[in-house]
Amino acid sequence: MTVKPLIRKANYYETDQMGIIHHSNYIRWFEEARVDFMEQMGYGYDEATLKGIEFALTGLSCEYKSMVRFGETVSITAKITELTNARMYVSYEVRDVKTDELRTTGETKHCFWDSERKRPVSLKKALPDLYALFEVTMEKI
- φ/ψ of 80, rounded to 5, equals -80, 125
DSSP designation for 44: -
Q: How far is the CB of 59 from a copy of itself (least distance, A)?
A: 4
Choosing from 16, 36, 96, 100, the catalytic residue is: 16
Nearer to a copy of itself, 20 or 126 (CB): 20
The footprint of a copy of itself (CB under 8 A) covers 11-13, 15-20, 22-25, 27-28, 31-32, 35, 44-46, 57-64, 70-71
Nearer to a copy of itself, 60 or 97 (CB): 60
Task: Report the C-alpha gap between 90 and 78 in whole angstroms.
Answer: 6
Q: How far is the CB of 109 from a copy of itself (least distance, A)?
A: 8
Task: Report the C-alpha gap between 33 and 60 in whole angstroms.
Answer: 14
Task: Report the C-alpha gap between 121 and 87 in whole angstroms.
Answer: 9
Q: How far is the CB of 115 from a copy of itself (least distance, A)?
A: 11
Q: How far is the CB of 20 from a copy of itself (least distance, A)?
A: 8
What would the 3-class secondary structure string for 59-112 be?
EEEEEECCCCCCCCEEEEEEEEEEECCCEEEEEEEEEECCCCCEEEEEEEEEEE
16 catalytic per annotation = yes
Nearer to a copy of itself, 65 or 140 (CB): 65
For residue 114, what is the enclosing H or E element?
strand 102-114
Nearer to a copy of itself, 15 or 91 (CB): 15
Tell me the catalytic residues: 16
